[in-house]
Amino acid sequence: MRSICFYFQVHQPYRLRNYRFFDIAEKHDYFDDYNNSFIMRKVAKKSYLPMNNILLDLIKEYGSAFKVSFSISGSAIDQFEEYAPEVLESFKKLADTGNVEFMAETYSHSLAALISKEEFQRQVEMHTHKIQQHFGKKPTTFRNTELIYSDRIGEMVADMGYKLMLSEGAKHVLGWRSPNYMYASAVRPELKLLLKNFLLSDDIAFRFSQQSWEGWPLTAEKFVDWLNKSNESEETINLFMDYETFGEHQWAETGIFDFMKSLPKRVFSHSDFGFATPSELAKKLQAVSPISVPNEISWADEERDLTAWLGNDLQDEAFEKLYNLYEKVKECDDPQIWKDWLYLQTSDHFYYMCTKWFSDGDVHKYFNPYGTPYDAFVNYMNVLSDFIIRVNENTKFGKEGYEGVKQSASDLYDKTSEAVKDTVKRANKKVKDAAVKSKEIKFEDIKDMSNAAVKKLLKEIDVEEMTAALKGAEKEVMEKIIPNLNKNAKKKYEELQSELKKINKKEINKYRKRVEDKIAEIFGK
């Protein structure tokens, strides 16, 4: 039996309020509580609640034959908790039937996979935790924000242990191949890939109410005919779309709810198709072929690439400045910073800055709070500037504030005074050593003495003794002493020279010692 695999994306961003330059460093509330609550309540009433009831009724009617899957972003769940708890309850009822699979994604519907493996994994873990907490089961299928996929992202997802991931059946990747089979990552074959059949998906999501479309009006009969036209060997028709399609993008008046109510009956009566969840397909189907995706694909716009979120100067600047903060955010311990960090990463903020609007304007305008991408950019950057200030203040040095600076200064003072004491100690020792050394006066030191000092010395010493001490002395010592001898002494010195021939070294040293002692006596203190 061939399968129809429904996957619905449920997401609401935390939209920013009009945050002005004057608010920077002054106010730290970034989100438009009024508007977010208003939109959430409106979409809940028009879409989430009625559609959940329809699905619940269908499951009651057909039992395990009817199945769907969801990915609900963390920021949507947070807003359910805050503004529309009854929606969460109704999703729980769906979970309790066992026919509904909930998938894993990044908590804040972010683009983290494109820039940081670590942050990407952290957000996925946060999200799976949240899903398990509310719906009781840990997700086993992964789908990335906006179905963004590449070989590199597949590798990260496989590293986290997932065996199946959803993506877009982009023409430029598949070429002649059909999206209606199970594929696998070219770099990590253990990761299977389910690809969106964008023709049939978009017939429901985008063209359903388009009166100019040749398929209009779309009925369950017509849709099942189209399903039957697909090749019989094909395994699965993957119908992936925003959940807001039902009741919000396509209003109730278009008959979208009636279409969904009647579709399963027609499928069961007029085709060999059944319904399956992604994880069931992962167990059942073998990959027919690996696909290689070197550049990121997504389900957005005609291009099926990243240009809805990144690529123009506004988007790149905002994205870069946001993720430049990552290393610092990691150091922060303020839970509010972590919360804001999550919500500021939501891809919608970058989507609002998109300047290629004119072809996909309608989708981009959906609940877009800004008049122009420039407004979106300016507002986001104002918020981000304040966030940067907060992050910087919360990291180690900033966080400790005045007290921290005072402590550092005091530590520095202590360290310095220790160092000063040490230096003084060492200096004193040096001086002392020098003083001790200076007491051990050598005979040769005479050459460094002033003439006055030499004269003073010569007055205190017999010329005979000095003559003996000078025997064989250095030339510089001689030159210092002989000119300083008075006339008589010089004469005596000359006379004594012949007598000195016999004198031995020992005696010379004895006389020298006397001279040294004399110098110490006169000058050494």
Spell out the residues 6+ positions from residue 504 whose beta carbon is closer than 8 angstroms to its own.
Answer: none
Q: Which one from 105, 146, 168, 516 is the annotated catalytic residue?
A: 146
* Contact between 405 and other proteins per CB under 8 A: no
Q: Work out which of 52, 277, 382, 467 binds other proteins, going by CB under 8 A.
A: 382
The DSSP result for 288-320, as a single string, is: SEEE--SS-B-SSTTTTSSTTTSSSHHHHHHHH
Active site residue 146: yes
Give how far Cα 343 sits from Cα of 26, 27, 111, 335, 407, Å: 20, 17, 12, 13, 35
Q: Is the dihedral of CA 136, 140, 141, 144 positive or negative?
A: positive
Q: What is the number of alpha carbons within 13 Å of residue 35 lying toward its C-beta?
A: 14
* Contact between 400 and other proteins per CB under 8 A: no
Q: What is the distance in angstroms between the CA of the first residue and the CA of the last residue of the chain? A: 113
DSSP state of 2: E
CB of 25 to other proteins, least distance (A): 4
Q: Work out which of 190, 272, 320, 418 binds other proteins, going by CB under 8 A.
A: 320
Tell me how far apart the alpha carbons of residues 328 and 341 are, in angstroms, rounded to a whole number.
11
Site residues for other proteins, window 77-106 (CB under 8 A)? Answer: none
Collapsing DSSP states into helix, strand and coil, what is residue 47? helix
CB of 363 to other proteins, least distance (A): 20
Closest-CA residue to 393 (of 377, 380, 383, 405): 405
Tell me how far apart the alpha carbons of residues 165 and 167 are, in angstroms, rounded to a whole number.
7
Q: Work out which of 126, 378, 473, 503 binds other proteins, going by CB under 8 A.
A: 378
Q: Work out which of 321, 456, 471, 514 binds other proteins, going by CB under 8 A.
A: 321
Contact segment (CB under 8 A) with other proteins among 37-45, 241-249, 371-379, 485-493 equals 371-379
Collapsing DSSP states into helix, strand and coil, what is residue 121? helix
Contact segment (CB under 8 A) with other proteins among 103-111, 137-145, 294-302, 306-314 equals 306-314
* Contact between 316 and other proteins per CB under 8 A: yes
Tell me how far apart the alpha carbons of residues 443 and 454 are, in angstroms, rounded to a whole number.
12
Contact segment (CB under 8 A) with other proteins among 73-81, 217-225, 377-385, 408-416 equals 377-385
Contact segment (CB under 8 A) with other proteins among 73-81, 117-125, 307-315, 489-497 equals 307-315
* Contact between 327 and other proteins per CB under 8 A: no
Q: Work out which of 384, 449, 463, 477 binds other proteins, going by CB under 8 A.
A: 384
Q: What is the set of active-site residues? A: 146
User: Applying CB under 8 A, which residues contact other proteins?
Assistant: 18, 20-22, 24-26, 312-314, 316-318, 320-321, 370-372, 374-375, 377-378, 381-382, 384-385, 388-389
